[in-house]
Structures are given as C-alpha cells and as structure tokens.
Chain A
Amino acid sequence: MFMCTGKRVMSLPMLLLLLLFICFFSTSRAIWITLPPTGTKCVSEEIHNNVVVLAEYVVVATGGDQSHNSTISVKVTSPYGNSLHHLENTSSGNFAFTSRESGNYLACFWVTHNDRDGDISVNLDWKTGIAAKDWDTVARKEKIEGVELELRKLEGSVESIHENLIYLRGREAEMRNVNESTNSRVAWFSIMSLGICITVSVLQLWHLKRYFHKKKLI
C-alpha cells in the first residue's frame, strides 16, 4: 500500500479521514475468482525471464457471515515444474518471486474445507513487473513525494513499455525465423515427395519386369 508522508504533523480528524480512505481503497484492488467445491482452478501468465512477481490472495467472506472457516490450498509452479509456493489449508497468504525461467507460470487453487455450500470467492491480487515495484522504499530512500513520485512512477511505466516493446520485437524476430524455415521445409519436402514418388514407381516397374522375366511371362 502506498503511503504519502507529509512533512507536517496532521490533525486527528484528518488522520481518521486518511485511515478511512485507506480502508476503503484497500478492499478493492484485485480480481475475484470463484472456486468450485471440488476441482482446482488455475490461473496462469506467460512471464519472461527476470521479472518480479508479487501476489496476494484472500478468501472473501461474502454477506454478513463473518464466521467463515473456509480454507483453500495454493500451489504455484514454474514452467519447468518447480514448485515456487505451496500452502495447504489457509484462508489467506502471499508470495513473491523473481522469474528465472521464461514461460507459463501457473497458480492453482483448490478448496480444502468449505464452511458453507456453494462456491468460494478468492480475492487475488497478481502483479508482475513494474506494477510489483515497491514505490514506498523508493520514496523513502530518495526522499521524494507527491507529484515528483507520481512522475517517477510514470517514468518507470514508460521504461517498462520500452522493455516490453524490445521483447516483442525479439519474439517477432524468432517467429519470423521459424516461419522462414518452415517455408523452405515445405518447398524441400514437396520436391522430395515428388522424387520419392518417381523413385518408388521406377522401383516397382523394375521389380515387376524382373519378376515376369523370371516367370517367363515376358
């Protein structure tokens, strides 16, 4: 959560107002997914190398029922199958990692204990790359605040756009190579197919001619 520290001491009502805003805003920052009573639900994202991933999940108490004891289990796996985070029987949790491999990262949720009938909603806050950057420490370390911090965030956003563009260009170049090799392979394999067809028919004719000679039919 982002906190902007003013240089002067704030009065109590203002502080309360701030806290109210914080509370109001902190409940609404992520997507909700519904878990069925049986079976797993997985979300995934294709992440390339060296990207920070930050995620937080909380079982949502719907309605006025505060005595929910529903728990879920989580498992996060890397593209090569390594388990990055595995928790059983919990109602909330978080995890963070830096991607070492490029590929599809999978986060799976399933219900271990359901206190009420029906589906369970999980509030999942999944951030990668620039969205996962800890601006609090940056603000504190460099002692910047307010408009300057916002502009710094925008600068970070622009840099990440630039990086993504370079990444996309690299992927496009890879794909172009694959396409061109497939194109030349199609040409070669078709010509070879013609060659094999001719060879096989020549062999057939030669073999049959030899056979009929042997059988004294020709």
Chain B
Amino acid sequence: MRGANVWTVFMCLMLSFFARIQSLSVTVNDVECVYEYVLYEGDTVSGNFVVVDHDIFWSSDHPGIDFTVTTPAGNTVQNIKGTSGDKFSFKAPTHGMYKFCFHNPYSTPETVSFYIHVGHIPSEHDLAKDEHLDPVNVKIAELREALESVTAEQKYLKARDARHRHTNESTRKRVIFYTVGEYLLLAAVSALQVIYIRRLFSKSVAYNRV
C-alpha cells in the first residue's frame, strides 16, 4: 500500500509539471530569442506564432519574419522563412534548453505573439525498475495534451483575430482620411484651376478689350 501511495505522489508531481505554457508577445527589431527547457527526450514541443502588424503602408512592405528552433546541441530542428504566422510541432530529440528565435530581415520593428507548449506523456522509460505505469495516469496525460492542443489553437485564433482587427481599423481610418482628403484636394484643385484661368485672361493684353 505504501508503494501505491508513493507512486500516486510521484505521478502527481509528474503530472503537475506538464502544463508548461508560455504565451507572450515580443517586439522583434533584428533577432529575438526565447529559451525553453525541455525535460524529457521525446517530448512533443508545439506552438504557434503570429506577427501582429504595425502599420504597413503597402502589403509588400514587409513579407514576414523568419523563425528557427535550435536544439541544445546546436542543430536546427525547425526553420520557417518569410511568414506572417504559423504553427509548429516537433518531437524533441534530446532534453535540454531549446532556443526559439525570430529574425526580422527589415528595419521596421514587428510585434510577434507566440505560444510554446512542451507536452509529456508518461511512459515506461521514465520509471524505475520496480514501478508500474498506471494506465489511468497515462490516459489523463493524453487527455491533458488534447486539451492543451485546443488551447493552443485558441491562442492562435486570438492572435490572428488581433492582427485582423489591426488591419480592419487601419482600413477604416484610411477610408475616412483618404476620402475626406480626396474631397478637399478636389475642391482645392478646381479652385486653383479657376484662379489660373482668371489670371490668364486678366493679364493677357491681347484679349483685353475695354
């Protein structure tokens, strides 16, 4: 009975550290790196990132940022280039400190909203020799991972919604300012035209018959 009790305690500890979630935004000027520790080899590291626009004038102004994931040994395990947002998922080949880097090839700063999750399902490899794996705990871990993937999707959707909202508000402002500016410009140009024509006819001596 004591063994079962200790096992429960151990599994409690194990399971309590599975919810390692980080969801943040950073402003990328040139290169920004965040580091996350992966406890076990074989853990699934998943996540997403979305570039939340600053005010780009033309859409070709900024094609996107590059994203790289480097293992503790220095190998690149993920490399996504020139994108405005993407999801990623990979199985960690070793445990250790992984580096997630965003590279901005242009000089305009971009804000990137990212989310990284490290998920672990307990398996036979983690246990000492005389302990047994409780299938309930494995199922709970799998259920937790499934829920985390839903949460990850939601965070992605939320970040994309923020980006769309920026674009929409920018569109709205542009509609108002550019059309009102257009009207004023039109009125000003036609007034200038009239003034110019008047000037032409009043200065020229040939047309002046008094």
Chain A residues at the B interface, C-beta cutoff of 8 Å = 2, 4, 6-8, 10-11, 14, 18, 21-22, 25, 27-34, 41-46, 104, 121, 126-128, 131, 135, 145-147, 149-151, 153-154, 157-158, 160-161, 164-165, 167-168, 171-172, 175, 178-179, 181-182, 185-186, 189-190, 192-193, 196-197, 200-201, 203-204, 207-208, 211-212, 215-217
Sample (11) of A-B pairs whose CB atoms are under 8 Å apart? A2-B16, A33-B34, A43-B26, A46-B162, A126-B22, A154-B144, A157-B144, A175-B168, A182-B168, A203-B190, A204-B194
How many inter-chain residue pairs (CB < 8 Å) link A and B? 176
User: Do A7 and B5 have beta carbons less than 8 Å apart?
Assistant: yes
User: Do A46 and B10 have beta carbons less than 8 Å apart?
Assistant: no
B80 to chain A, nearest CB (A): 19
B197 to chain A, nearest CB (A): 6
Could you tell me the dominant secondary structure of chain A's interface residues?
Answer: helix
How many residues from B make CB contacts under 8 Å with A? 68
Beyond A157-B147, A201-B190, is A28–B136 a contact (Cβ under 8 Å)? no
Q: What chain A residues lie within 8 Å of B147 (beta carbons)?
A: 154, 157-158, 161
Which of B60-68, B69-77, B81-89, B180-188 sits within the interface?
Answer: B180-188
Q: What chain A residues lie within 8 Å of B39 (beta carbons)?
A: 25, 28
User: Do A208 and B8 have beta carbons less than 8 Å apart?
Assistant: no
Encode B144-176 as 1/0 by CB contact (under 8 A) with A: 100110110010011001101100110110011
Chain B residues at the A interface, C-beta cutoff of 8 Å = 1-2, 5-6, 8-13, 15-17, 19-27, 33-37, 39, 97, 111, 113, 116, 136-137, 140, 143-144, 147-148, 150-151, 154, 157-158, 161-162, 164-165, 168-169, 171-172, 175-176, 179, 182-183, 186-187, 190, 193-194, 197-198, 201-202, 207, 209
